Amino acid sequence: MHINANGFCKSLTPKQLEDLSNNSHAASLKRGEAIDGHHLLAWPIVAISSGVISMQHLLEDGRKTIAALFMQGDIIDMRGISSRNRSHLIALNKSNICRLSPDVFESIVETNREAQHIVWNNLRSQTHRAIDHSADLAKKQALEKLASFIFECRHRGTKTNKTKENVLVDIPVRRIDLAEYLGMQPETVSRSFRTLEERGIIEMQTISTVLIKQAPVLRRIANGDKTTEKMRRVDDDRFKVLSFG
Amino acid sequence: MHINANGFCKSLTPKQLEDLSNNSHAASLKRGEAIDGHHLLAWPIVAISSGVISMQHLLEDGRKTIAALFMQGDIIDMRGISSRNRSHLIALNKSNICRLSPDVFESIVETNREAQHIVWNNLRSQTHRAIDHSADLAKKQALEKLASFIFECRHRGTKTNKTKENVLVDIPVRRIDLAEYLGMQPETVSRSFRTLEERGIIEMQTISTVLIKQAPVLRRIANGDKTTEKMRRVDDDRFKVLSFG
DNA sequence: CGGCAAGTTGAGCCAGGTCAACTCCGGTGG
DNA sequence: CCACCGGAGTTGACCTGGCTCAACTTGCCG
């Protein structure tokens, strides 16, 4: 089941849709553009219809972190956040969003059961994604984080080529953003991609498209299975034999 | 505003309370005890009335992570999680919980506005906590993570001694759990506590009680301000002068 | 009082951060 | 059309914060 803002809108009655369009602000954002903090005070609910929005935290000395990624269908509820926190919503891509006022949002959620379920499920999956992401960051090494991220992209991606058994995955952000999301350096991201490619587990079709060649192995890396390191050598041996034959 | 399960229960009508007690399972857990996965299938909603519950992720090679901490008042919604994921709910303390079936939970949430708000706010703050925690894990160093955690405890704690200007903070988990939550080693946690104490920023009253002596400095460390390192030396100088005078 | 888990301390090492140099690529203007 | 530019990405060499391992102390519970 894919939960998205489209679903949310589809579930509304004509009356509610009218309310919504009278009490919301559609907007388009370019890469790097932030959602203005002042606007967030009046319209703290942001529904994403396309693109990728990042929630960024800034440390005192300039270190920057992408604490969360929001994509098509996510509904960001910033009530009580905008002012106190040093967190900002910044588009990583050309994105289309829709800002809602709390009033109209509340009234829809309280009166429309289906909309309520969609919104509730979205928030719940945001929570679980954030918790899973915490687990990734806490104990995994660079290679494992990247493997997890590739699966996260496959799971959430809309552009994924589903025909090819889901093996073609679109990475919707730049290397530099990816690094900030995974809590590592762009250099390390680059090296990790290369390692996965050298081991024959993935192949870069373009800079933003990954072909998964050995999904089970990638899965095991993501789960922290260290025995996969040996498999590299096995593959090499087989390759040598083949090339001799 | 403190959102808790008490609030949730208080907001119910007598009829709903009766429903609730007929369709819920109260339970008491000892430290280290897990909430059984089979039970979670039938009763995937867990409300915490006291204690600390951890959500733990296990990696293939035995590495363990505490991905999230839940305390008094949190309502954990595990629908759709219990089976697929390798995550477990484990008590870190003597805890009292209440398991709910989805049916009764849904019916209460859909009919009782106040309960709906309490539940929604709790889930929303879980999301933001998880996102903040991700940010902590991503780029902060050991000392900074610990400083953040002390503030998190102060903010969430129920046992905090509020009379003393909130400077006495209870750390409700063992060092070893703390380490797993912050993605570091128990040894490093120990060393970090010592460093903070040596710099005169905190003082350990007991192993689980921290007295914050310089809240602003601790705050700056938590925010990644590196200039605090120099302040140590300033303090030392002042101390020397005083001891000579 | 004994036994075991939790916590602390010290010494050495390594994954990944840092710094610097270089390539690649899309956009811009002459 | 090419020359130029700037930001993104990559690669190499080096360095360090925190992990690892081992020894020890402390505190809890029967």
Q: Whole-number mean pLDDT of chain A?
A: 85
Residues 6+ apart with CB under 8 A from A202: A150, A193, A196, A210, A211, A212, A213, A214, A218
- Residue B187 contacts strand C, CB under 7 A: yes
Q: How many CB pairs under 8 A join A and B?
A: 120
Residue B81's closest chain A neighbor by CA? Answer: A128
Q: Is A230 on the interface with B (CB under 8 A)?
A: no
Which of A128, A148, A219, A221 is the mutation pick for testing B, counting most B CBs within 10 A? A128
Its pTM stands at: 0.88
From the list B67, B72, B40, B45, the residue with the least C-alpha distance to B56 is: B67
B226 touches strand C (CB under 7 A): no
Angstrom distance (rounded) from CA A64 to CA A48: 23
pLDDT of res. A112: 83
Handedness of CA A153, A154, A155, A159 (dihedral sign): positive
Strand order in the sheet with A209-212: A168-170, A209-212, A202-206
Closest CA relative to residue B11, chosen from B157, B111, B102: B111
- Kindly report which amino acid residue has its CA closest to the C1' atom of nucleotide D21: B187
Task: Output DSSP code: residue B112.
Answer: -
The C-alpha angle with vertex B145 and arms to A64 and A175, in degrees rounded to 5, equals 30
Please write down the long-range contacts of B233-240, taking CB distance under 8 Å and 24 or more positions apart: B235/B199, B235/B200
| pLDDT at A135 exceeding the cut of 90 | yes
Put residue A70 in one of left, alpha, beta given phi > 0 → left and psi -120 to 50 → alpha: beta
pLDDT at position B210 is 95
At A203-219, the pLDDT tens digits run: 999 999 999 999 999 99
Nearest residue on chain A to B220, judged by CA atoms?
Answer: A60
Give the gap in angstroms from C-alpha B218 to the nearest C-alpha of chain A.
Answer: 13
Confidence of residue A163 (pLDDT cuts 50, 70, 90): low
Q: In terms of DSSP bridges, do strands A52-58 and A64-71 run parallel, antiparallel, or are they unpaired?
A: antiparallel
- What's the CA gap between A53 and A155, in Å, rounded? 17
User: Does the nearest atom of strand C lie within 7 Å of B31's Cβ?
Assistant: no
C-alpha torsion angle, residues B229, B232, B237, B240 (rounded to 10):
-160
Q: Could you report how far apart the first and last alpha carbons of chain B are, in Å?
A: 48
Whether residue A22 is predicted with pLDDT greater than 80 in this model: the reply is no
Out of B63, B81, B225, the one facing A60 most closely (by C-beta) is: B225
Element (H, E) at A39: helix A37-42
Q: In the complex, which nucleotide's C1' lies nearest to the CA atom of residue A187? A: D10
In chain A, the N- to C-terminal Cα span, in Å, equals 48
| pLDDT in the model for residue A204 | 95
Per-residue pLDDT tens for B147-174?
Answer: 999 999 998 876 545 555 568 999 999 9
User: Are A131 and B68 a contacting pair at CB < 8 A?
Assistant: yes
B106 contacts chain A (CB < 8 A): no
Within 7 Å: CB of A188 and strand C?
Answer: yes
B41 touches strand C (CB under 7 A): no
Distance CA A124 to C1' D2 in A? 55
Residues of chain B with pLDDT under 50: 1-4, 160, 233-245
Residue in the structure block whose two tokens are 């400083």: B147
**Is A137's CB less than 7 Å from nucleic acid strand C?**
no
Cα–Cα distance between B196 and B177 in angstroms, integer?
Answer: 19
Helix axes A113-139, A142-156, angle to 10 degrees: 160
Q: Which residue is nearest to nucleotide C15 (CA to C1')?
A: A141
B120: number of Cβ within 10 Å? 19
**Residue that has been written with the tokens 């090494």 in this structure:** A141
Using the predicted structure, report yes or no on whether residue A83 has a pLDDT greater than 90.
no
Contact B138 A67 (CB under 8 A): yes
Of B127, B134, B182, the CB nearest to A123: B127
CB A90 within 8 A of CB A66: no
